[in-house]
Amino acid sequence: IMLTSGFTFSAAAMNISDLSGPSLGVLIVLGATSFAGVEQSVVYIEESKDPRRTIPTATYVTIAVIGAAYALASWVQISAAGPQPIERATAEGADLFFNQAAVLLGDTALTVGKVLLGTGLVAALLAFHNAIARYTFALGREGVLPRMFGRTTIKGAPRNASLAQTTLALGVLILYAIAGWDPLVQLFYWGSTTGGLGILLLYTLTSIAVIGFFARNTHGENLWQRRIAPLIATAVLLVVAYLAIDNLAGLYGVTPGTGPARIVPLALLAIFAAGTTWGLILRRTKPAIYEGIGRGARSATASASGLSAIL
Protein backbone atom coordinates (compact mmCIF):
# COMPACT_ATOMS: atom_id res chain seq x y z
CA ILE A 1 0.00 0.00 0.00
CA MET A 2 1.58 3.28 -1.14
CA LEU A 3 0.56 6.56 0.45
CA THR A 4 0.92 9.92 -1.30
CA SER A 5 3.78 10.87 1.02
CA GLY A 6 5.86 7.99 -0.29
CA PHE A 7 5.40 5.81 2.80
CA THR A 8 4.83 2.16 1.91
CA PHE A 9 3.15 -0.47 4.07
CA SER A 10 5.33 -3.56 3.79
CA ALA A 11 3.74 -7.00 3.65
CA ALA A 12 7.02 -8.44 4.92
CA ALA A 13 6.03 -7.42 8.43
CA MET A 14 3.18 -9.93 8.24
CA ASN A 15 5.41 -12.85 7.21
CA ILE A 16 4.77 -15.57 9.79
CA SER A 17 7.83 -17.54 8.64
CA ASP A 18 10.02 -14.88 10.26
CA LEU A 19 8.74 -15.96 13.69
CA SER A 20 11.48 -18.48 14.32
CA GLY A 21 14.82 -18.81 16.06
CA PRO A 22 15.87 -18.46 19.69
CA SER A 23 14.16 -15.09 20.06
CA LEU A 24 10.70 -16.55 19.42
CA GLY A 25 10.14 -17.23 23.11
CA VAL A 26 11.02 -13.65 24.02
CA LEU A 27 8.66 -12.28 21.36
CA ILE A 28 5.76 -14.45 22.54
CA VAL A 29 6.28 -13.48 26.17
CA LEU A 30 6.53 -9.76 25.35
CA GLY A 31 3.36 -10.04 23.29
CA ALA A 32 1.52 -11.83 26.11
CA THR A 33 2.66 -9.45 28.84
CA SER A 34 1.65 -6.48 26.66
CA PHE A 35 -1.92 -7.39 27.55
CA ALA A 36 -1.23 -7.30 31.28
CA GLY A 37 -4.02 -5.41 32.99
CA VAL A 38 -6.95 -6.60 30.88
CA GLU A 39 -8.34 -8.19 34.04
CA GLN A 40 -8.79 -4.75 35.57
CA SER A 41 -12.39 -4.61 34.38
CA VAL A 42 -13.23 -7.10 37.13
CA VAL A 43 -11.95 -4.64 39.73
CA TYR A 44 -15.01 -2.49 39.03
CA ILE A 45 -17.50 -5.34 39.33
CA GLU A 46 -19.12 -3.85 42.45
CA GLU A 47 -19.80 -0.61 40.58
CA SER A 48 -21.47 -2.30 37.60
CA LYS A 49 -25.24 -2.47 37.29
CA ASP A 50 -25.14 -5.76 35.37
CA PRO A 51 -21.67 -7.30 36.00
CA ARG A 52 -22.42 -10.63 34.26
CA ARG A 53 -22.93 -8.73 31.01
CA THR A 54 -20.89 -5.55 31.42
CA ILE A 55 -17.61 -7.06 32.67
CA PRO A 56 -17.20 -9.72 29.92
CA THR A 57 -18.18 -7.20 27.24
CA ALA A 58 -15.69 -4.63 28.53
CA THR A 59 -12.95 -7.27 28.68
CA TYR A 60 -13.51 -8.57 25.14
CA VAL A 61 -13.73 -5.05 23.70
CA THR A 62 -10.55 -4.04 25.51
CA ILE A 63 -8.63 -7.05 24.16
CA ALA A 64 -9.87 -6.41 20.62
CA VAL A 65 -9.03 -2.69 20.67
CA ILE A 66 -5.59 -3.20 22.23
CA GLY A 67 -4.78 -6.02 19.80
CA ALA A 68 -5.79 -3.93 16.79
CA ALA A 69 -3.85 -0.89 18.03
CA TYR A 70 -0.71 -2.93 18.70
CA ALA A 71 -0.92 -4.66 15.31
CA LEU A 72 -1.38 -1.40 13.39
CA ALA A 73 1.32 0.45 15.34
CA SER A 74 3.80 -2.40 14.86
CA TRP A 75 3.02 -2.63 11.14
CA VAL A 76 3.49 1.10 10.67
CA GLN A 77 6.77 1.19 12.58
CA ILE A 78 8.27 -1.86 10.88
CA SER A 79 7.25 -0.55 7.46
CA ALA A 80 8.68 2.90 8.17
CA ALA A 81 11.98 1.45 9.38
CA GLY A 82 12.75 0.06 5.93
CA PRO A 83 14.33 -3.25 4.99
CA GLN A 84 16.46 -3.49 8.15
CA PRO A 85 14.23 -2.51 11.11
CA ILE A 86 16.26 -4.48 13.67
CA GLU A 87 19.49 -2.75 12.74
CA ARG A 88 17.85 0.66 12.94
CA ALA A 89 16.24 -0.14 16.29
CA THR A 90 19.61 -1.25 17.65
CA ALA A 91 21.34 1.90 16.44
CA GLU A 92 18.65 4.48 17.28
CA GLY A 93 17.07 2.88 20.34
CA ALA A 94 14.08 4.69 21.82
CA ASP A 95 14.44 7.55 19.32
CA LEU A 96 13.54 5.33 16.35
CA PHE A 97 9.81 5.93 16.57
CA PHE A 98 10.24 9.72 16.80
CA ASN A 99 12.78 9.79 13.99
CA GLN A 100 10.35 7.90 11.75
CA ALA A 101 7.56 10.35 12.52
CA ALA A 102 9.84 13.32 11.82
CA VAL A 103 10.44 12.10 8.25
CA LEU A 104 6.77 12.59 7.38
CA LEU A 105 5.66 15.19 9.92
CA GLY A 106 8.77 17.31 10.41
CA ASP A 107 10.91 18.06 13.45
CA THR A 108 7.89 19.35 15.37
CA ALA A 109 6.74 15.74 15.61
CA LEU A 110 9.75 15.00 17.81
CA THR A 111 8.66 17.50 20.45
CA VAL A 112 4.97 16.62 20.23
CA GLY A 113 5.73 12.91 20.32
CA LYS A 114 7.91 13.15 23.41
CA VAL A 115 5.32 15.29 25.19
CA LEU A 116 2.64 12.72 24.38
CA LEU A 117 4.95 9.94 25.57
CA GLY A 118 5.42 11.75 28.87
CA THR A 119 1.70 12.30 29.41
CA GLY A 120 1.04 8.69 28.38
CA LEU A 121 3.52 7.43 30.97
CA VAL A 122 1.83 9.55 33.65
CA ALA A 123 -1.54 8.07 32.66
CA ALA A 124 -0.09 4.55 32.82
CA LEU A 125 1.42 5.27 36.25
CA LEU A 126 -1.96 6.48 37.52
CA ALA A 127 -3.65 3.37 36.13
CA PHE A 128 -1.18 1.05 37.85
CA HIS A 129 -1.42 3.08 41.06
CA ASN A 130 -5.19 2.82 41.01
CA ALA A 131 -5.08 -0.94 40.40
CA ILE A 132 -2.60 -1.58 43.22
CA ALA A 133 -4.55 0.65 45.59
CA ARG A 134 -7.78 -1.21 44.84
CA TYR A 135 -6.18 -4.62 45.34
CA THR A 136 -4.68 -3.44 48.64
CA PHE A 137 -8.07 -2.05 49.65
CA ALA A 138 -9.79 -5.35 48.82
CA LEU A 139 -7.30 -7.37 50.88
CA GLY A 140 -7.61 -4.93 53.76
CA ARG A 141 -11.41 -5.05 53.68
CA GLU A 142 -11.35 -8.83 53.82
CA GLY A 143 -8.83 -8.89 56.67
CA VAL A 144 -5.96 -10.44 54.73
CA LEU A 145 -3.98 -7.21 55.18
CA PRO A 146 -4.44 -4.78 58.12
CA ARG A 147 -7.98 -3.40 58.28
CA MET A 148 -6.80 0.17 57.90
CA PHE A 149 -6.18 -0.48 54.18
CA GLY A 150 -9.84 -1.45 53.76
CA ARG A 151 -11.21 1.89 54.85
CA THR A 152 -12.32 4.57 52.42
CA THR A 153 -13.28 8.21 52.38
CA ILE A 154 -16.91 9.28 52.56
CA LYS A 155 -17.07 9.13 48.76
CA GLY A 156 -15.61 5.62 48.67
CA ALA A 157 -12.02 6.34 47.63
CA PRO A 158 -9.47 3.86 49.09
CA ARG A 159 -7.34 6.63 50.58
CA ASN A 160 -5.24 4.57 53.00
CA ALA A 161 -4.36 1.99 50.35
CA SER A 162 -3.48 4.79 47.92
CA LEU A 163 -1.24 6.52 50.46
CA ALA A 164 0.52 3.23 51.19
CA GLN A 165 1.24 2.74 47.48
CA THR A 166 2.48 6.34 47.19
CA THR A 167 4.82 5.87 50.15
CA LEU A 168 6.19 2.62 48.72
CA ALA A 169 6.82 4.20 45.31
CA LEU A 170 8.51 7.21 46.89
CA GLY A 171 10.75 4.91 48.94
CA VAL A 172 11.82 3.01 45.82
CA LEU A 173 12.64 6.24 43.97
CA ILE A 174 14.69 7.54 46.90
CA LEU A 175 16.57 4.22 47.10
CA TYR A 176 17.44 4.34 43.39
CA ALA A 177 18.51 7.97 43.65
CA ILE A 178 20.81 7.29 46.62
CA ALA A 179 22.28 4.14 45.05
CA GLY A 180 22.77 5.85 41.69
CA TRP A 181 21.11 3.03 39.75
CA ASP A 182 19.98 3.58 36.17
CA PRO A 183 16.25 4.47 36.43
CA LEU A 184 15.56 3.66 32.78
CA VAL A 185 17.12 0.19 32.67
CA GLN A 186 17.24 -1.03 36.25
CA LEU A 187 13.91 0.42 37.38
CA PHE A 188 11.64 1.01 34.41
CA TYR A 189 12.71 -1.83 32.10
CA TRP A 190 13.71 -4.46 34.64
CA GLY A 191 10.84 -3.50 36.95
CA SER A 192 8.17 -3.59 34.25
CA THR A 193 9.55 -6.87 32.89
CA THR A 194 9.46 -8.40 36.37
CA GLY A 195 5.92 -7.14 36.90
CA GLY A 196 4.81 -8.51 33.55
CA LEU A 197 6.39 -11.88 34.32
CA GLY A 198 4.72 -11.98 37.72
CA ILE A 199 1.33 -11.15 36.22
CA LEU A 200 1.82 -13.84 33.56
CA LEU A 201 2.52 -16.45 36.24
CA LEU A 202 -0.49 -15.26 38.25
CA TYR A 203 -2.67 -15.59 35.14
CA THR A 204 -1.43 -19.16 34.75
CA LEU A 205 -2.12 -20.11 38.37
CA THR A 206 -5.53 -18.43 38.25
CA SER A 207 -6.46 -20.29 35.08
CA ILE A 208 -5.57 -23.59 36.75
CA ALA A 209 -7.60 -22.57 39.81
CA VAL A 210 -10.62 -21.82 37.60
CA ILE A 211 -10.62 -25.43 36.40
CA GLY A 212 -10.63 -26.68 40.00
CA PHE A 213 -13.30 -24.16 40.99
CA PHE A 214 -15.78 -25.27 38.33
CA ALA A 215 -14.95 -28.93 38.95
CA ARG A 216 -16.71 -28.59 42.32
CA ASN A 217 -19.77 -26.68 41.11
CA THR A 218 -21.02 -25.42 37.73
CA HIS A 219 -22.31 -22.17 39.29
CA GLY A 220 -24.77 -21.84 36.42
CA GLU A 221 -22.08 -21.48 33.74
CA ASN A 222 -22.23 -23.32 30.41
CA LEU A 223 -19.75 -25.95 29.17
CA TRP A 224 -17.62 -23.42 27.29
CA GLN A 225 -17.23 -21.18 30.33
CA ARG A 226 -16.51 -23.85 32.92
CA ARG A 227 -14.50 -26.42 30.92
CA ILE A 228 -13.42 -25.65 27.35
CA ALA A 229 -12.26 -22.02 27.71
CA PRO A 230 -10.35 -22.60 30.99
CA LEU A 231 -8.59 -25.67 29.56
CA ILE A 232 -7.54 -23.83 26.39
CA ALA A 233 -6.40 -20.81 28.38
CA THR A 234 -4.42 -22.96 30.82
CA ALA A 235 -2.66 -24.85 28.02
CA VAL A 236 -1.68 -21.62 26.25
CA LEU A 237 -0.56 -19.91 29.46
CA LEU A 238 1.55 -22.90 30.52
CA VAL A 239 3.39 -22.77 27.19
CA VAL A 240 3.94 -19.01 27.43
CA ALA A 241 5.05 -19.29 31.08
CA TYR A 242 7.56 -21.97 30.13
CA LEU A 243 8.91 -19.81 27.31
CA ALA A 244 9.20 -16.86 29.71
CA ILE A 245 11.25 -18.83 32.20
CA ASP A 246 13.33 -20.51 29.51
CA ASN A 247 14.15 -17.13 27.91
CA LEU A 248 14.53 -15.14 31.11
CA ALA A 249 18.00 -13.82 30.28
CA GLY A 250 16.77 -12.66 26.87
CA LEU A 251 13.85 -10.83 28.45
CA TYR A 252 16.20 -8.84 30.67
CA GLY A 253 18.97 -8.52 28.10
CA VAL A 254 21.62 -10.01 30.40
CA THR A 255 23.90 -13.04 30.44
CA PRO A 256 22.12 -16.22 31.63
CA GLY A 257 22.42 -16.74 35.37
CA THR A 258 23.37 -13.15 36.15
CA GLY A 259 21.60 -10.07 37.48
CA PRO A 260 17.79 -10.16 37.37
CA ALA A 261 17.84 -13.48 35.47
CA ARG A 262 19.15 -15.04 38.68
CA ILE A 263 17.51 -12.87 41.33
CA VAL A 264 13.97 -12.51 39.96
CA PRO A 265 13.06 -16.24 39.98
CA LEU A 266 14.26 -16.51 43.59
CA ALA A 267 12.32 -13.38 44.55
CA LEU A 268 9.11 -14.62 42.91
CA LEU A 269 9.46 -18.01 44.61
CA ALA A 270 9.99 -16.27 47.96
CA ILE A 271 6.90 -14.09 47.46
CA PHE A 272 4.83 -17.11 46.40
CA ALA A 273 6.01 -19.08 49.44
CA ALA A 274 5.28 -16.16 51.76
CA GLY A 275 1.77 -15.69 50.35
CA THR A 276 1.00 -19.40 50.52
CA THR A 277 2.28 -19.59 54.11
CA TRP A 278 0.14 -16.60 55.15
CA GLY A 279 -2.89 -18.19 53.50
CA LEU A 280 -2.34 -21.43 55.40
CA ILE A 281 -1.94 -19.47 58.64
CA LEU A 282 -5.23 -17.66 58.04
CA ARG A 283 -6.93 -20.92 57.16
CA ARG A 284 -5.86 -22.44 60.46
CA THR A 285 -6.11 -19.48 62.84
CA LYS A 286 -8.80 -17.27 61.21
CA PRO A 287 -11.05 -19.52 59.12
CA ALA A 288 -13.74 -16.82 58.75
CA ILE A 289 -11.26 -14.48 57.08
CA TYR A 290 -9.89 -17.27 54.90
CA GLU A 291 -13.38 -18.25 53.70
CA GLY A 292 -14.14 -14.62 52.89
CA ILE A 293 -11.16 -14.10 50.56
CA GLY A 294 -12.40 -12.96 47.18
CA ARG A 295 -15.95 -12.23 48.35
CA GLY A 296 -15.46 -8.48 48.67
CA ALA A 297 -18.33 -6.69 50.39
CA ARG A 298 -20.06 -10.09 50.77
CA SER A 299 -17.26 -11.25 53.05
CA ALA A 300 -18.52 -12.02 56.55
CA THR A 301 -15.50 -10.28 58.03
CA ALA A 302 -16.09 -7.16 55.96
CA SER A 303 -19.73 -7.04 57.00
CA ALA A 304 -18.85 -7.61 60.66
CA SER A 305 -16.29 -4.83 60.64
CA GLY A 306 -18.70 -2.41 58.99
CA LEU A 307 -16.42 -1.83 56.01
CA SER A 308 -18.99 -3.01 53.49
CA ALA A 309 -21.48 -0.45 54.72
CA ILE A 310 -19.42 2.53 53.61
CA LEU A 311 -19.18 1.43 49.96
- So what's the pLDDT on residue 226? 87
Residue 178, pLDDT > 90, answer yes
Greatest CA separation for the chain:
71
- What span, in angstroms and rounded, lies between the C-alpha atoms of 69 and 9? 16
- What span, in angstroms and rounded, lies between the C-alpha atoms of 69 and 75? 10
- At 114, the amino acid letter reads K
3-state class of 2 per DSSP?
A: strand
- What span, in angstroms and rounded, lies between the C-alpha atoms of 191 and 188? 5
- What span, in angstroms and rounded, lies between the C-alpha atoms of 292 and 143? 9
Asked whether the beta carbons of 207 and 230 are under 8 A apart, the reply is yes
Q: Band the pLDDT of 298: cuts 50, 70, 90.
A: low
DSSP string, 149-218: GG---TT---HHHHHHHHHHHHHHHHHHHHHT--IIIIIIIHHHHHHHHHHHHHHHHHHHHHHHHHHH--
Over residues 48-70, mean pLDDT = 86
247: DSSP letter: T
Asked whether the beta carbons of 311 and 156 are under 8 A apart, the reply is yes
- What span, in angstroms and rounded, lies between the C-alpha atoms of 96 and 86? 11
61 vs 219: which has the higher pLDDT: 61
**Whole-prediction pTM value?**
0.78
Helix, strand, coil shares of the chain, percent, nearest 5, are 80, 0, 20
- Range of weakest confidence among 116-120, 124-128, 189-193, 293-297: 293-297
8 vs 130: which has the higher pLDDT: 130
